A and B are shown apart, each in its own frame.
Chain A
Amino acid sequence: KAGVTQTPRYLIKTRGQQVTLSCSPISGHRSVSWYQQTPGQGLQFLFEYFSETQRNKGNFPGRFSGRQFSNSRSEMNVSTLELGDSALYLCASSLMAGYGYTFGSGTRLTVV
């Protein structure tokens, strides 16, 4: 079966711009979680959506937002980009968060 698809793979944005990342989960998976990965902080949880509802949220500023559509596809948006937002953003899908994830290959965001 198809895996988790994240688009785009790479992005370069300028400080102050906004960006939208997309994630298509494995068919049948209703939970989509987003993580930010940086060398200094490791994997940090952003948020989780389950059946179009945000069920869990990490400790990130309001500039980070997301949504999930009825087909379980999810998007995350970062507004007013800062240099520190440069990271690998990973999407993970699962039947239920906490039971283990299947990760996408990630979107590498570089803010200049």
Chain B
Amino acid sequence: AQSVTQPDIHITVSEGASLELRCNYSYGATPYLFWYVQSPGQGLQLLLKYFSGDTLVQGIKGFEAEFKRSQSSFNLRKPSVHWSDAAEYFCAVGTDSGNTPLVFGKGTRLSVIA
């Protein structure tokens, strides 16, 4: 079975600074990888996904993520954080069979300070 670890429970960054959120997965075959963002009291919104191909994927709101098979990682990055990026971020892993549910990490809460 697949699993996801997000090592950082809470990260605080200054507005305008760069951001990197870490995600490590465990899955024997090629994973399908996702990043979602959740604002308080809301559902999750898909930021980006990786199925295959180019290991650097671009998403919405200026986010990108890089798949590194050798490190079993799929870290999320943004070059310049805006105050509106404050939210909870979830990494998730699926499988290429398409019929198994996504497994989510515990999430990383991002705070943005002026």
Which chain A residues have a beta carbon within 8 Å of chain B's beta carbons? 4, 6, 33, 35, 42-43, 45, 48, 50, 55-56, 58, 88, 90, 92, 96-106, 108
- Of all A-B residue pairs in the complex, the 9 with the closest CB atoms, nearest first, are A98-B94, A103-B43, A96-B98, A43-B104, A42-B106, A103-B44, A105-B43, A45-B101, A98-B98
Query: Are B99 and A96 interface neighbours, CB within 8 A?
Result: yes
A-B contacts counted at CB < 8 A amount to 69
Contact size class for B? 20 to 34
Provided the pairs A42-B106, A42-B107, A106-B42 are in contact, do residues A100 and B32 lie with their beta carbons within 8 angstroms? yes
Alpha-carbon distance A85/B45, docked complex (angstroms): 24
B95 CB within 8 Å of chain A: yes
| Cross-interface CB contact of B102 among A4, A55, A97, cutoff 8 Å | A97
